[in-house]
Structure 1
Amino acid sequence: MSNHDDRSWGQFVEEIPDDTVVERFEGAEPKTATEIADILSCTEYEARSKLDALCRTGQLDRKKVREEPPLTVWYQPRATFVGEDNGTGRPVDEHVSALLDDMDVPGISGMMRDWRRDAIRATFDRLRDTREIEEAELIEQVYPAHSAGYDEAEQWWAMVSERLGDLPGVVEPRWGGKTWRYDGQ
């Protein structure tokens, strides 16, 4: 029986220290979630969750390199291996732009997807400006100018809110809550 088969569901992602994952990257060499799962003896799902969490903190970046079959790779930000800071101190706007560029959003055309990324960015910027805001107020302030092709604010908010929490510093409401916070710089 191979080591891959007997590990069942692997470790819980919270039990894998961030440094343990980041140390597996050498220079600019990208790695897939499958490669990281094999290295850490965890499931691919757990590896992907941990890698995505490290992207949100700026310790790693990701890029979708192929649509069919889908292939995403994770890699260290350039600053990490050229002797600069580890990527967490880079400007928030730059980090958010990189995440949005790689973010999967619905839309039948590139222009539509760009509008939707712009709507997510405008929502992020508003949240960052206010630091804390109720969901209804956030929708009221951003949706009219950034509807991104949505006729209904509820549909728009479903698309935006699903992705907003993936951006650095954004704290989603607790279960049942309606207040969004920005705790970043």
Structure 2
Amino acid sequence: MDETARDRTRDEHGQYADRIPPESVVDVFEAREDRARPLTASDVMDALDCSRRTAHNKLNALVERGTLDTRKVGARSRVWWVPIERPAGVGDESNRSDAVSTAIRTATLPGSGPTLEARREALSAAYDYLTEHPEATKADFLRDVYHDHTAGYESAEGWWNAIQPALKGLPGVDPPEERGHLWHFLGGD
């Protein structure tokens, strides 16, 4: 038996006592300067000086508790984040703030009259979608919003080319970095 194992304390069931409480992992998330940026298991490993397995075990336990959310982002990659709690009514246009309503109403979109109004409704639907799904890709918008709010566009690409520049300017919207894919909703205005 190595010296480290001999020095570790055991609980009442004879199992090694946990030296890294889950709260330490939560502290890693709270200590970030950019609270919108998800973390990887490597980020947690480095911060807590623990093994990859320990980091994964702690992160997954916090997901089960509802403290963290997770998403697979590649063939073998996963990220974790603290979910944003939305106030009741977020995504409900009747409870939308004046700032968001004004931003949608004054957004630069092509067209006039009923066409412009349909495009504002499409922008509103895209915004609502992002508030309900605080992490979304272009493909998500095209799959889940475009078909119900075509706004006179015959192609999804044409629709996206008009909607996404206006969506970037709405309160709480964090567009992807250059070459990035994930849009984030950071919360109310």
Which one has the largest radius of gyration? 2
TM-score of the superposed pair, with normalisation by structure 1 = 0.49
TM-score of the superposed pair, with normalisation by structure 2 = 0.48
